[in-house]
Chains A and B, each alone.
Chain A
Amino acid sequence: EAQVTQNPRYLITVTGKKLTVTCSQNMNHEYMSWYRQDPGLGLRQIYYSMNVEVTDKGDVPEGYKVSRKEKRNFPLILESPSPNQTSLYFCASSLKLASTDTQYFGPGTRLTVL
């Protein structure tokens, strides 16, 4: 089954404790991105990757890191989480570009930073 998977689905952590949210897709998509969803703000792009070893900042990259060592995986890293990073996070992938192709979204990761 074609899908985007994220882990964990729920995470409660404390300020400053490094964490990683994994994302994997099995559709051989080139483009992957991370979004955060906050009430009243819709989805905002954090980082994106157009292919292996090619990543770039989205609209709200501060406090986040990503890597794309393999085509299927695109982990999101929070080196020192803060309470303002409490949010619902989505990973998405598309064949080429998010601007032209259908994006496939993971189920989301709800992160709470205390």
Chain B
Amino acid sequence: AQSVTQLGSHVSVSEGALVLLRCNYSSSVPPYLFWYVQYPNQGLQLLLKYTTGATLVKGINGFEAEFKKSETSFHLTKPSAHMSDAAEYFCAVSGGIYNQGGKLIFGQGTELSVKP
């Protein structure tokens, strides 16, 4: 079984500051990990995903995340926040090819606010 915990339902940063959104997971099989972003009044879109291979994953809009197996974490970072980054971010986990039902488990979401 898989589960996801996102630490902090709301994070606020200043424009230009580092963005760090935390995600911890549990999985009984090698996990596939995803970050999705939801802008106001829109559906979710994929930011980045980890399947296998390189543990540092780069995504769209300058975001990246690092898979740390020993810490069961997949934190999302961006060196310099922009006003347009204000959105809700969801971390998700699956069992990848081991998941016969193809299900994705989402965290509860973290709302990012960016102050001018």
Contact = CB atoms under 8 A, between A and B. Distances in A.
B106 A42 contact: yes
B90 A42 contact: yes
Interface stretch (B13-21, B61-69, B94-102): B94-102
Contacts, number: 70
Contacts of A103: 36, 44, 46, 104
Interface residues of B, number: 26
B26 interface: no
A interface residue count range (under 10 / 10 to 19 / 20 to 34 / 35 or more): 20 to 34
A51 to B, nearest CB: 11
A41 B96 contact: no
Interface string A20-64: 000000000001000100001111110010100000101000000
Interface of B: 4, 9, 32, 36, 41-46, 49, 51, 90, 94-97, 99, 101-104, 106-109
